[in-house]
Every structure is written in C-alpha cells, then in structure tokens.
Homo-oligomer: A and B are copies of this chain.
Amino acid sequence: MTDVKHMKWWGWGVDGVAFHHENKPGFAPFLKRAVGVDLSIPTEVTAKAFEDIDVPASRASESFMAELTAIVGDSYLTVNDMDRVIHTFGKSIRDLIRVRAGDLARVPDLVIYPADEAEVQSIVDAAVAANAVIIPFGGGSNIVGALEPLRDEERTVISLDLGRLNRVLDIDEGSGLARIQAGAQGPDLEAELEKAGWTIGHFPDSFTHSTVGGWVATRSSGMQSDKYGDIADITKGLRVVRPGNVLVIRAIPSASTGPSVREMILGSEGRLGVITEVTVQVHRIPEKREILAYLFPNFEAGLKAMHDISESDATPSVTRVSDGNETIFSFATSKASKGLSSLVTKGLGVFLKSKGWDTNKMCLSFIGNEGSPDHVSRNQKIIASIVKKHGGLGIGKGPGVLYDQKKFDTPYIRDFFLDFGGSADVSETAAPWSKLFPLYTNVMAAANKAFDEIGVQGWIMNHMSHSYSSGACLYFTFAFVSTGDPIKQYDVVKSAIQQAFIDNDATISHHHGVGLEHAPWLEQDISTAGVSVMQGLFDAVDPKGNFNPGKIILGQTSRVPAEPLV
C-alpha cells in the first residue's frame, strides 16, 4: 500500500542482508573463546514464524478509523498485523528477543502514513480530541524502548509513520542550510544532498535505517561529530506539529531568546509533538577525506592520545580508539585476505611482540581528516606526532577504508548471534577526559561481576569516540549466551553498566536517548530538580499525555520490570 521502507520485523536491516563468518577465519575461534559458542554445532533458529505469533487485535473504533481515513485516504491507514508488529518495537536486544518470541504486550492499534504536514496536523488534532496516543515512527532503529506503547495503555494507540515525508525540500546554497522532511532516511537524504555537492556529515551507526526526525527526537550523534557536531549542533530549524498549530523554530545560527525551545524538541522522543521538518547545517563535500589507522600498546595510552589531539591545533573529523577486546573483535571479523588480518599475516604481530607489546591488549584506532589535501596532511602530521608520543604506531589507510565501508554492518552480527541464543547489546556514555579511564575500568569490572552473578561467560568491549574539548563518549558492547530468562539476565548486566556510568561521573546516554530503557537512571543523572523541571514541561504542554506518554520520565509506564532491577 505504501512504498515506505521498513526493516524486517524480527531483526536489523532488510531481508537478504546478513552477516556471514565463513570468509572470516578468526570469527569462529573468537566466538568460542569469548562466549563459548561453537559455530560448528548447528543451532535451531529460535524465532517463531510470523504466522505463529498471536498479534493482539486492533482496538481502534470504526468511527475513529473513519475519521483518520478521511484525512489520509484508504491506502494510508492500516491495521494489518505485520505493519502493526513492525511498529511495536525498535531494534534493541530486548525488542528482538520479545518479538521473536511473540511477546507482544501492546501493539499499536493502527499505523497511519500522512502525506504532508497538513495531514499530520489533522491527525494530531483528531487524536488529541479523541484522547488517543500518538507515537511518531521514523526508521524504527531506536534501541531504548522509545517506540513501544505502554503495556497497560487503554487508549487507542496510533503509530504515526513519517515515511512519506521523505524529501529534501530546499537547499539554501548561500548558507549551507537544507530543509528536510522528518521522515527522510539517511542514505536517501545524503544522496539528494550529494547531487548538489553537499553533505550533512551526520553518520550514526543506524544511518542506513534512521531518519532525520528520529535523529532530532533522540539527540543522535554521528561518527564524524568531531567535525560536524552532534545532531543538536547540526539542527538549526524545526517544524513540530502540536495540538492546534505548528511550532516553528526558524534557522538562526545562534540566538538568545530565552530557554531554548529548539533544545527542548531535541531529545523529546515524541513527547512534545510530531517533528515534521528539520533544517540542518550542510557542508560542501570536502576535497579529500581520509581515515588512517593506528595501534596503541594499551587503552590508556590511546585515550591520552585522543585527549591530546582534542587539545591540539588539529581538527579531525573522526577520533576513535578501541580497547584490547574490541581490537580482538575487529581482527576476528576481518576477511582473511584483507585489512587487519592481512596485516597480521604480514608479520605485524611478530613485529609488535618484538617491541614488547601484548597483542591481546593492543588497541586499534581510527582517525579521520577532511578538507583540502594540504589541510588533511597537516592534521595528520600533528596527529602522527601525538600518536608517537603515546607509543602508538600508524598502520596506514587500508583498515580505515574497510572501517568506513563496514561501519554500518555491526547490527547484523548481533542478529546472527541471536540465532545462537546469544544476547548482545550496547551501552554508551560520555564523561570528562579525566574520568574516562577510571570509568572504563569500573564499567568493565561491573559488567564482569554481573556476568558472574548470572553465571554466564560474558564478553564486553569498548571504544572511545566523539571527542569534545572536555571529554568523549565511551561505547560498550556486551554479549553472552543466556542460561536462563534472557531478558532478566540482560537486565542484570545492562543495569550494572548503567549504574556504573552514574557512579563514575558519566551520563546514562551520549546519543541513544532515554526512552524506557535508561529512564530509571535519569534522576541520578540530571538530579531530582532537573527531572521535576522536565516533568513540569511535559505536564504543561501535554496535559492528557497524548504524546508518547511514559517515555524519558517513568511514572506512566508499566513496562519497567515489576521486580526491582539488580
């Protein structure tokens, strides 16, 4: 009925794209060693067939459906089971475990696809008048539970899919400002911009399946944020449909017009209205882009180098360093003939051991630069000298090229792992430079303690990315094969990590948002008074709780585990 693209209902990405390990000889031994999974033993696919899933029927009334259908037309409102299930969750491990098991607590009653902002306005007004719930839906890549209806929601739940608002409307070439409809997905909008010689410079890991409206609603950050900024920096103008009218933030470079309404919409996760249009800063496609790879003898040395780079005159686009575990993982997921693995076969390992390195602790780093060739080479020279100071080693362009090509593929590995009963997910945070290394060691310890508590062989790895003057993001990926209830066990590990963030002067999320997943820690992050100010805002502008209620601040939700988290 619509040509709006969606990911598959049971996992990341589109049908026909999947992770394969056969051409990666290091992967099977790595997996055995890390989490005890033997890939040579065939496993049953645990996911149910869609036909075997019991999808709760839509509770939308005939009259309300008729009212909404009159707005968008017959083809753009559906109560089809598959559509509703696709719009029930995002793509966190909790989401995938539940949907594969057919554990669908509360499914949206209908999915609606407005054609334009005027239709969004009509839907919003009708929904508020009927006291229905509106959950805006972009690419569906959210991993913090921001998309799911509350378990005990008794009102009609509308999943408002922005997929038809997918155009780049205008580029102000004289200012580098592009007006883009909220439902435009990453690759589509970037292709439109590229045609005119521009780039948005925003490439989150979800890029291939997320939308500009979703980035704004989540406070997303892309891997080139060192140069282009987070989406909060990139977003200059906004249009947000509110009951009765459209909130318009014009594209102003900077303003002192009171508390920033723009910064209230950013990160609002659907609670303040429906974002329909975003005006973003775009940039001329740089003459040269180059990501170089480096190795450091240990993570602390890598962090120190990244900090020094952030204080230097160099202005890189990407600074990233993996810890020893993630470096092992990167080698294990490389093809035999290319990139990292070939480096090893070329004897790099032998060379490093001769230098006294522990190759199980060495840390892979990627640093990108963009601009004129002269600018890029000058930055690389400054960076090379800092890397050397911290005992690091440049290993050239090859791994950087591969990283750039493969950067969006990691979620497919997670789905592959899920077929073997494995749970893998991520927790990311940010903290000041001085706190990063203790934060890292304490989070690793907390996760390993949690693995012990639930009696699993767990794996946790990390990279630092997104440098700022005052600090950076740490991004943890953890995995284990459940020995009991996979969601309960996941909660133990996830909770231990999130609490360690708080206890080590770090935030509960750098760029994934709050949703339901991180909400239990919000008060510890922004203080009781901070939550009360935010709650005041939500209550004032959405008194009946029609806009994605219960997200960010708990209280209206029943999805949070009834049992206390460990």
Contacts and interface: CB of A to CB of B under 8 A. Distances in A.
A474 to B, nearest CB: 11
A375 B257 contact: no
A508 interface: yes
A469 interface: yes
Contact of A434 (B172, B269, B283): B172
Contact of A258 (B260, B268, B281): B268
B522 A253 contact: no
A475 to B, nearest CB: 13
Contact of A254 (B251, B468, B525, B530): B468
A433 interface: yes
A540 interface: yes
Given A371-B313, A529-B240, A259 B250 contact: no
A533 B547 CA distance: 14
Contact of A250 (B246, B252, B525): B525
A296 to B, nearest CB: 18
Nearest to A376: B313
A151 B315 CA distance: 51
A514 B256 contact: yes
A447 interface: no
A400 interface: no
A46 to B, nearest CB: 32
A192 interface: no
Interface residues of A, number: 93
B258 A267 contact: yes
Contact of A530 (B220, B221, B247): B247
A176 interface: yes
A509 interface: yes
A269 B261 CA distance: 15
B533 A254 contact: no
Contacts of A175: 432-435, 470-471
Nearest to A536: B540
Contact of A259 (B174, B221, B257, B272): B272
Interface string A536-561: 11011100000000001100000000
A259 B263 contact: yes
A530 B259 contact: no
A321 to B, nearest CB: 16
A513 B253 contact: no
A537 B259 contact: yes
A249 B468 contact: no
A505 interface: yes
A556 to B, nearest CB: 14
Question: How many of these chains are in the complex?
Answer: 2
Interface string A331-344: 00000000000000
Most chain B CB within a 10 A radius of its CB, from A176, A266, A433, A511: A176
Given A175-B432, A247-B533, A263-B263, A509 B256 contact: yes
Interface string A464-476: 0010111111000
Interface in A414-438: 430-435
Given A246-B529, A432-B174, A251 B536 contact: no
A432 B247 CA distance: 20
Nearest to A252: B507
Contacts of A157: none
Contacts of A84: none
Contacts of A267: 256-260
A251 B528 contact: no
Given A172-B432, A371-B313, A254 B469 contact: no
Contacts of A266: 259-260
21 contacts: A172-B434, A174-B433, A176-B469, A221-B254, A236-B470, A240-B529, A247-B527, A247-B533, A254-B468, A254-B510, A254-B511, A256-B510, A256-B514, A257-B267, A258-B522, A258-B526, A259-B264, A259-B268, A260-B260, A260-B266, A261-B533
Interface of A: 172-177, 218-221, 230, 232, 236, 240, 242, 245-261, 263-269, 271-272, 281, 283-284, 311, 313, 315, 371-372, 374-375, 378, 430-435, 466, 468-473, 505-514, 518, 522, 525-530, 532-534, 536-537, 539-541, 552-553
Given A258-B522, A261-B530, A536-B540, 7 more contacts: A247-B529, A253-B472, A254-B473, A256-B513, A258-B267, A259-B272, A537-B540
